[in-house]
Amino acid sequence: MRKLLPLLLLALAACSGTDSREAAPGVSLLKKFSMAETEGGICAWRLDAKTGRLDEKKGQVTFSAPRIKFYDQDEVSSEITSRTGSLRMVEKSAVLNDEVEVNSWKDGMRLKTTRLYYSSARAKIWTEEPVTFYKGRTVITGRGFTANPDLSEIEIQHQETRLAGE
């Protein structure tokens, strides 16, 4: 038994890894996780992220490298990616930061910005930051917009439109 104990301790130390961090009470550290919101058994959106931190007291999840897919029936209608973000679980609202990109699979439109907000209650995405929309050769820039997550029904403030290459 005494020979087995040092081997067991070495094995446990090897499993712990060098980057393991202790979470505070009420905080869970997450790796490669997914969460979704369903309405009547149908998925409205699904979030996949590389890492996350769930703070139960605050009711908030912060995450890195998020990929959020929005669904129309059972098909993906759009996808949002960014470097970081957070989700307030009670309000069902999210903030995405750094290199935010929205791709609408319905009509091939793409949006880029630095910060994006989402509200499940409103079923809208928006920002007050500069935005750039791309569709074919058309490039639309503005500062601030509101839209459905699939980029339908877009309202852009301070808009400028041009054809790419001009």
Q: Considering the domain boundaries, does residue 3 fall inside one?
A: no
pLDDT band at 159 (very low <50, low <70, confident <90, very high): confident
Q: Considering the domain boundaries, does residue 94 fall inside one?
A: yes
Question: Count of domains in the chain?
Answer: 1
Q: Considering the domain boundaries, does residue 130 fall inside one?
A: yes
Q: Considering the domain boundaries, does residue 68 fall inside one?
A: yes
Confidence (pTM): 0.80
pLDDT of residue 17: 40
pLDDT of residue 94: 96
Q: Considering the domain boundaries, does residue 106 fall inside one?
A: yes
Q: Considering the domain boundaries, does residue 44 fall inside one?
A: yes
Is the pLDDT at 114 greater than 90, yes or no?
Answer: yes
List the domain range (segments joined by +) for residue 137.
23-163
Closest CA to 71 of 110, 35, 38: 38
CATH number at residue 74: 2.60.450.10
Q: In the predicted model, what is the mean pLDDT of residues 142-155?
A: 93
Q: Considering the domain boundaries, does residue 9 fall inside one?
A: no
The DSSP line for 2-65 is TTHHHHHHHHHHHHH-SS--PPPTTEEEEEEEEEEEEETTEEEEEEEEEEEEEETTTTEEEEES
Residue 132, helix vs strand vs coil: strand
Q: Considering the domain boundaries, does residue 83 fall inside one?
A: yes
| pLDDT, tens digit, 9 for 90 and up, residues 30-86 | 999 999 998 888 899 999 999 999 999 999 999 999 999 999 988 999 999 999 999
pLDDT of residue 155: 92
Percent of the chain with pLDDT over 90: 66
pLDDT of residue 165: 65
